[in-house]
Amino acid sequence: MNFNTEWKKRRLTTPRTAAIAGILFGLLFSTSLVLMRAAIPEEINSDTSWVAAGSSRINLALGLMPFAGIAYLWFIGVVRDKLGEYEDKFFSTVFFGSSLVFIGLVFVAMAIAGGILTTYKFIGNEAQDYTVIYFARSLMLHISNVYALRMAGVTMISLGTIWMRTGLMPRWLAWVTFSLALILLLVVSFNPWFTLVYPAWVTLISLYILFMRLTHPDTWLFTPQETGTA
């Protein structure tokens, strides 16, 4: 048996079901955020009873987020698979790097939330100094709503630029991507629900890819010639 021939037959190809990775990320990530934001009050005050009252929701959110991260890595792989031979090294590096920084910052923010739970248990009722909890909560919001969302905006701009240059995705989808990216880059908001913009965009992209794979299984990859772009 020719090893090279056999290897070519068994080469890894992206499974069609991988297109749902972004949808899973959107659902898991959004659910985790909703649980977290529902447990943590929007305004910072001296009352820390929310830690004990929302501990079950926070723990569930912490349990879901790692799986959301795994699905997000699959989503990145699906997007790069769609780029194929038209992948640009510069923009692809920016896309890949900012995506990893984004999910890394999200994990850090969630770890801080877990640290708040643990710290509250150790403090108990004996000590009344909850300064560390106030600080940790503020730090978590800055990491997730300032730094992580800006990395998400960079991811969107780099991907939208690739789509505009290659015509691999519809122009309307690229313009929607640019518009949402500018919002994430320029608007600083600590609104608990502002972070849902990014998973909503990922879900939209994934639904489109899944739709194209189901309706055009052999020609779902557009080329610049087919879209009329140079």
pLDDT score for 178: 94
pLDDT score for 181: 94
CB 224 within 8 A of CB 166: yes
Q: pLDDT tens across 160-195, in order?
A: 888 888 877 888 999 999 999 999 998 877 776 788
pLDDT score for 176: 93
Q: What is the longest distance spanned by two Cα atoms in the chain?
A: 74
Cα 88 to Cα 138: distance, rounded to the nearest angstrom: 38
Which has more confidence, 179 or 137?
A: 179
pLDDT score for 156: 93
Band (5; pLDDT cuts 50, 70, 90): very low
pLDDT score for 224: 47
pLDDT score for 167: 78
Cα 63 to Cα 74: distance, rounded to the nearest angstrom: 19
CB 78 within 8 A of CB 158: no
The answer to pTM > 0.85 is: no
CB 110 within 8 A of CB 61: yes
Q: pLDDT tens across 68-126, in order?
A: 999 999 888 877 776 666 666 777 788 889 999 999 999 999 999 998 888 877 776 55
Answer yes or no: is pLDDT of 146 > 80. Answer: yes
